[in-house]
Homo-oligomer: A and B are copies of this chain.
């Protein structure tokens, strides 16, 4: 537990007056709000507020600002780098009761939602309109959390990430003022891009309370495919040539042999235990068939066998459920274990090198770590299967993670393609960004001078405090 802020008692009193039973200091509620799905050890906030409107978030912020007490926005709790841990104590604002879809405009292919809306909820709501929102990080995350962490996932190779799919945001500033970062025009050259500044800012600059999203027409036809390779290099060369050829694959995912073995066991598949690509194609029936044939030919060139594709919705769903359950499958490899999930992203020309060197590291380690990747973007994940109570294992995961990140940075990549910085990657910010970290710190200090918004995340402490 963090040291308590001297004025937290007064703040809790004011919050209880404002919110009544929607302000909780119960241990169970606080504990649930001091953690995400990462390996980081939970740190509970002092109090949890359940907000119902932008105006209420603003009122809460004003109380916290007056006492300079930390605030952490909370969505689905599915982040992966300790984003929600209350390292300096304070107030968690739970946004799950703000879960309305406020507006859908089929003509403009856009909609506006509250931050607590989950991505599956949105797509179910949209189904009758013939539209969908493609960004799919795996977990049934909240749209607010996805915006805050610049989430992406399996569809990003075709549709981009949250960065490309948010038109504007409503944000409560650290002093309680409310702003809109933009309008519904598809593009604008009118001033600084505040929308993009808030996307990926992990709650450190304000609280997102409305999100205007781009939507897409549900494709006429969708097909899925799997294909296995004798080696990882062949798989990656196939991906590179597919992307270079301009084939608009909707998904192109790599699973290494360890991960394939894990999902075979967990999801009851019987894939060959080899490096494998999972693919999806969107378009007209003829176009989907054409794309699958082109990719099949490319994969054959690189030694693949058994390219299997299907238009059956059921088979497709089974495949992607297995892919989405990759982390649970990894946990399942070892009784009583947890996952330390990490990700990096490199230019695709360096992806084979990066993965092969990483696999070599793993071969020399006592830890198991299945590898999966959104390889069309040069982005891949390791899931270290650890018992985090064992300091040796934590230390080894830390060592392998550090080597992975240094490798990615040396290849002109990034320490995280989609998981975000949170607590876990903060120590790599200087290494990745150098002098630019001071620019980030200056922005943080300008917008949040008292450092009350999710303090201890993104900006290394020496700079922000």
Within 8 A of B (CB), among A117-157: 149-152, 156
Residues from chain B with a CB closer than 8 A to the CB of A160 are 164
Contacts of A107 in B (CB 8 A): 240, 244, 347-349
For window 377-422 of chain A, which residues contact chain B by CB distance below 8 Å?
377-379, 408-409, 412-421
For the complex, give the distance between the alpha carbons of A377 and B194 in Å. Answer: 20
A347 CB, nearest partner CB in chain B, Å: 5
Top 3 nearest A-B pairs (CB, nearest first) are A446-B446, A196-B196, A188-B414
Q: Which of A32-40, A300-308, A362-370, A431-439 touches B?
A: A431-439
Residue of B nearest to A164 (CB): B164
Q: Beyond A197-B197, A436-B179, is A246–B216 a contact (Cβ under 8 Å)?
A: yes
Task: Give A346 to B183 CA distance when docked, in angstroms.
Answer: 9
- In A422-452, the 8 Å CB interface with B consists of 425, 428-429, 432-437, 439-440, 442-447
Residue pairs across A and B with Cβ atoms less than 8 A apart, 9 shown, are A163-B196, A184-B412, A184-B413, A185-B412, A188-B345, A188-B416, A189-B414, A191-B429, A194-B440
Interface residues of A in 225-253 (CB under 8 A from B): 240, 243-246
State the Cβ distance, A121 to closest chain B Cβ, in Å: 23
Residues of B within 8 A of A150 (CB): 187-189, 193
- With contacts A190-B429, A243-B109, A413-B183 known, is A173 near B439, CB below 8 A? yes
Are the CB atoms of B186 and A377 closer together than 8 Å? yes
Closest CB-CB distance, A424 to chain B, in whole Å? 11
Residues of chain B within 8 A (CB-CB) of A164 are 160, 164
Would you call A358 an interface residue if the criterion is a C-beta within 8 Å of the partner chain's C-beta atoms? no
Among B106, B190, B377, B444, contact of A416 (Cβ-Cβ < 8 Å) = B190
Cβ contact of A201, chosen from B192, B348, B421, B446, cutoff 8 A: B192
Q: Closest CB-CB distance, A325 to chain B, in whole Å?
A: 22
List B contacts of A379 (CB < 8 A).
Answer: 185-187
With A and B bound together, what is the CA distance between A428 and B188 in angstroms?
A: 13
Number of interface residues of A (CB under 8 A): 87
Which residues does chain B contribute within 8 Å of A205, judged by CB atoms?
Answer: 192
Give Cα A246 to B130, complex, Å.
12
The answer for the CA separation of A327 and B9 in the assembled complex, in Å, is: 65
Chain B residues with CB under 8 Å of A348's CB are: 107-108, 186
| With A192-B201, A201-B192, A216-B246: A187-B173 Cβ-Cβ less than 8 Å | no
Does B346 contact A414, Cβ atoms closer than 8 Å?
Answer: no
Picked from B181, B182, B200, B412, the residue with its CB within 8 Å of the CB of A189 is B200
- Contact: A440 with B191, CB < 8 Å? yes
Question: In this assembly, does A334 line the interface, its C-beta being within 8 Å of a C-beta of chain B?
Answer: no
In the complex, whether A180 has a CB less than 8 A from a CB of chain B is: yes
- A183 cross-chain contacts in B, Cβ below 8 A: 409, 412-414, 432
Q: Is the CB of A347 within 8 A of B105?
A: yes
Q: With CB as the reference atom, state the residue of chain B lying closest to A179.
A: B436
How long is the Cα–Cα vector from A166 to B9 in the complex, in angstroms?
48
Complex CA distance for A443 and B253, rounded to whole angstroms: 39
A41 contacts B by Cβ under 8 Å:
no
Q: Which residues of B contact A246 (CB under 8 A)?
A: 216-217, 219
Provide the residues of chain B in CB contact with A101, threshold 8 Å.
Answer: none
B186, A345: Cβ atoms closer than 8 Å = yes
**Residue contact A184 to B347, C-beta cutoff 8 Å:** yes
A273 on the interface (CB 8 Å rule)? no
User: A197 with B192: in contact, given A109-B243, A180-B434, A439-B447 (CB under 8 Å)?
Assistant: yes
A163 CB to nearest B CB, Å: 7
* Bound-state Cα–Cα, A392 to B28, Å: 71
Which residues in chain A, 59-91, are within 8 Å of chain B measured between CB atoms?
none
Interface 0/1 of A332-351, CB less than 8 Å to B: 00000000000001111100
Decide if A256 is an interface residue (CB 8 Å cutoff): no
